[in-house]
A and B are shown apart, each in its own frame.
Chain A
Amino acid sequence: MAKIKKYFSKTWQLWLMLLPAMIYIFIFCYIPMYGVQLAFKEYSYAKGFLGGDWVGLKYFKQYFESNMFWPTLKNTFVIAVTGIIVGFPAPIILALVINQIRNKRWRKFVQTIVYIPYFISVVVLVSMINILFANGSGVIANFLKALHLVDSSVNIIGSASTFLPLYVLTGVWQSMGWNSIIFIAALSSVDTQLYDACKVDGANRWQTMIHIDLPALVPTIMILFILNMGGILNVGFDKIFLMQNSTNLGISQVISTYVYDVGVKSSQFSFGTAVGLFNTVINFICLIVTNWVSKRTTGSGLM
């Protein structure tokens, strides 16, 4: 008892400084986590948030057996995996290129420009997509059609086949610059002696980049890759939700938008919770597996 008293007399100020953050996390993160039991209960308005009767795996079964299970799971995976395959290397390549720019002013200018899209909100981004790719008047749509990169009969906004490339590439457009910052920072801490040694060996700039710069990025790449995999099913709700229309729903209905539709819009609270929990568990498994593989192969990981 005296020990505890002594401990708190030394640390109570630190605990007090932590308290607001801990209370906030408790209310808005841990209480909802406790609330996932709703997925195993029958929600009723009369009995309140967690007052319903236990129904076991009823709502999971309902989801697995529904005709929305495979489409939502498949769409989520396809969008997420394509996003990672295309979106993950882009900032790395950009950082390597920016790092090679010798003219300081131009370099600064390039960095300033590529960071700007990060500040554009999803609503504004999707509106810009709708304007620039509009059928007939969209400047970029017309440009792509003039170059025959897209067939002139295709309505880019209003067809299922163009949803995925449009979603992924505009995502790269928005986040590539911002995500490159971390790699640029890692490159700036490379030991300059390595470059000198390379020069002595007669390496050209391409070889220097491949043999010095790229390996220097590996730990950063691995950590970000694990974090990305951990969020694989958390494909951005906002953007998909805003880009959804009746023509692309077959490919754009993902788990998170489905949770919103059933859980919030049509108030099937237990069912929505079950689908959401399924999503979280898959994410968690992806994170653990990627972390394990990364530790085995490269030695760097999160935990």
Chain B
Amino acid sequence: MQKSDTYNFSKWPDRIFAAAVIIISVLVVIIIAYPIYFVVIASISNSNLVNQGAVTFWPKDIRFYGYEQILHDSRIWTGYANTILYVVAGTLLNMAVTMPAAYALSRKDFKARNIVMFYFVFTMFFSGGLVPTYMTVSSLHLVSTKTILIIFVAVNTYNLIIARTFIANSIPNDLYEAAILDGCSHFKYFFSVVMPLSKAVISVLTLYYAVFHWNDYFNALIFNSKDENAPLQIVLRQILLLNQAFASGNGGVQGGYGQSSADQVKYAVLIVSTLPILCVYPFVQKHFEKGVMIGAVKG
């Protein structure tokens, strides 16, 4: 995208335009970044000062009390362990189901692919709804098990389309023809040619699926009622929104957190729960545009 350099900046409309672009982009960055920044500084400040509105731009009276309390809260550790299990096992299952199906659907010589594609796409626009889905899961005896939270969204149709489009468009068909001449089967071709050449789409989809599992709250709310299976997001809701930071609960400090520190625990919990997934982000960021772009080819 080299299109800029020779614009005539001496013309005043372009100067105003350039200034407007800078001003808008600075405003957008402030609006998006400030709330996140505030939670970070509030989590290490004296919560009395935070509640008085004294903490706005810099942390004041720095302390790590909230983080120390979290270390001793067994609910959070259980939630963490469950979430990690759901993210790792769930995402692996997602990829193991999505990629082979995407390959099969990408083969132009596979005549049934349009019908099969319709079979998948139809579910994007029509569904049985919450209650029949719950009843189905219930009649499979999967309610309140760890299994259902791992397998529930095993293949996402939108991600399947992204993978299919990527494989169809970016892996040259010559490779396939050469492989067939060598007597290569679909399985062998898939594992030795398609997978190694699909790193970009694999990393994007892994991110999509992993973020979904990490942040998933709805499925756990509907399909699970046991504390021991609760993922982090459910624990967060108990602590943050249902105000159970005070309850002694299953863990925590005896008698719950002290009045003023409860708020600080909340800020720290927000940070601790979001940080891991944010850490993955820089590694895959460069693939985003590519991934989204592939998906856009066939909406």
The answer to whether B17 and A38 have CB atoms under 8 Å apart is no
Chain B, 42-69, contact with A by CB distance < 8 Å: what is the 0/1 string? 1000000011110010000000000000
Q: How large is the interface on B (under 10, 10 to 19, 20 to 34, 35 or more residues)?
A: 35 or more
A273 CA to B293 CA in the complex, in Å?
37
Q: Which residue of B lies closest to A132 (CB)?
A: B35
Instruction: Provide the residues of chain A in CB contact with B241, threshold 8 Å.
Output: 123, 126-127, 130, 242
- A181-B289 contact given A38-B131, A113-B29, CB 8 Å threshold: yes
The answer to whether A273 and B51 have CB atoms under 8 Å apart is no
Chain A, 38-58, contact with B by CB distance < 8 Å: what is the 0/1 string? 100000000011000000000
> Is A195 interfacial (CB 8 A cutoff)?
yes
> Is B2 interfacial (CB 8 A cutoff)?
yes
A287 CA to B126 CA in the complex, in Å?
11
Instruction: Provide the residues of chain B in CB contact with A121, threshold 8 Å.
Output: 214-215, 217, 233, 236, 273-274
- A106-B129 contact given A119-B274, A204-B17, CB 8 Å threshold: no
* A149-191, CB < 8 A from B: 173, 177, 181-182, 184-186, 188
Instruction: Provide the residues of chain A in CB contact with B135, threshold 8 Å.
Output: 32, 35, 38, 49, 269
Nearest-CB distance from A34 to chain B (Å)? Answer: 7
The answer to whether A14 and B107 have CB atoms under 8 Å apart is yes
Instruction: Provide the residues of chain A in CB contact with B281, threshold 8 Å.
Output: 115-116, 119
Majority SS at the chain A contact face: helix
A97 CA to B237 CA in the complex, in Å?
36
Q: Which residue of A lies closest to B103 (CB)?
A: A17
Instruction: Provide the residues of chain A in CB contact with B3, threshold 8 Å.
Output: 192, 195-196
> Is B77 interfacial (CB 8 A cutoff)?
no
The answer to whether A279 and B129 have CB atoms under 8 Å apart is yes
Stretch binding the partner chain, chosen from B94-102, B168-176, B249-257: B94-102
- A223-B299 contact given A102-B4, A116-B36, A137-B52, CB 8 Å threshold: yes
> Is B128 interfacial (CB 8 A cutoff)?
yes
Instruction: Provide the residues of chain B in CB contact with A199, threshold 8 Å.
Output: 6-7
> Is B211 interfacial (CB 8 A cutoff)?
yes
Q: Which residue of A lies closest to B2 (CB)?
A: A192
Instruction: Provide the residues of chain A in CB contact with B71, threshold 8 Å.
Output: none
The answer to whether A119 and B211 have CB atoms under 8 Å apart is yes
The answer to whether B13 and A205 have CB atoms under 8 Å apart is yes
A193 CA to B152 CA in the complex, in Å?
48
By a beta-carbon cutoff of 8 Å, the part of chain B in contact with chain A is 1-4, 6-7, 11, 13-14, 17-18, 21-22, 24-25, 28-29, 31-33, 35-36, 38-39, 42, 50-53, 56, 96-98, 100-101, 103-105, 107, 110, 112, 116, 119-120, 123, 125-140, 151-152, 154-155, 160, 185-187, 190, 211, 214-215, 217-218, 222, 233, 236-237, 240-241, 266-267, 270, 273-274, 277-278, 281-282, 285, 288-289, 292-293, 295-296, 299
Q: Name 13 interchain pairs, CB-CB below 8 A, sorted by A.
A: A13-B187, A18-B116, A20-B96, A22-B101, A24-B154, A97-B28, A98-B25, A123-B233, A128-B39, A132-B35, A185-B293, A263-B134, A284-B125
By a beta-carbon cutoff of 8 Å, the part of chain A in contact with chain B is 11, 13-15, 17-18, 20-22, 24-25, 27-36, 38, 48-49, 94, 97-98, 100-102, 106, 109-110, 112-124, 126-128, 130-132, 136-137, 139-140, 142, 173, 177, 181-182, 184-186, 188, 192, 195-196, 199, 204-206, 220, 223-224, 227, 230, 237-238, 242, 256, 259-260, 263-264, 269, 272-273, 276-277, 279-280, 283-284, 287, 302
